[in-house]
Amino acid sequence: MSYRRDVGNYTVPFVIRNLKFRRWPTMVMRICLLGSLVCCVAAVILLRHRAPLVFGVLLMFSALLGVGAALSIACFLLTNRQVDKLLLGDALETPPKKSRWEIDDVKSIQFVSNSDEDYREWDHPAPARDALIILRRIQGVRTISLLLSSSDASRLREWARQNNIQVGAAEIDA
């Protein structure tokens, strides 16, 4: 089975989608922005009721800190984007950053399982599998953490076997 499909004159690689989403940064951004809004409203209300100017300045300063924190988290998310999908073909590609690793750069692929999965019935495939792809880089090693559907996990395992990439299982405690 080839991992490239011929569509007309073009060859298209298979796509594997990551099901893992990082939601905590967006929640922290929302909390920072909401806190900034509350501080601004409280400062305006206090200054209208002739409270000392120091309280208004302190509330406005904390509002600026909240906006600054939200902006720094947004910049962090833009520079450290999560891998949304992988393209499997003659190389391993990650579209968000347009990174490309040759087959020789892929050190190993590990499917992570926990102790609950050891007692699962083998007749029913797991709905999702955690996978770690370990890549060689000039600066060292990079790992890509993925949550894959069972069909994408089997597709990744088959791609790795075809390209003589080491496939293993890593054990974690739940």
pLDDT above 90 covers a percentage of the chain that reads: 22
How much is the pTM? 0.62
pLDDT in tens, 72-85: 999 988 877 778 88
pLDDT level of residue 10 (50, 70, 90 thresholds): low
pLDDT winner (highest mean) among 4-18, 32-46, 101-115: 32-46
User: Per the structure block, which two tokens stand in for 133?
Assistant: 């792809």
Neighbours of 165 (CB within 10 A): 19
Distance CA 35, CA 29 (A): 10
Distance CA 1, CA 117 (A): 29
pLDDT at 68: 96
Give the mean pLDDT of the chain: 80
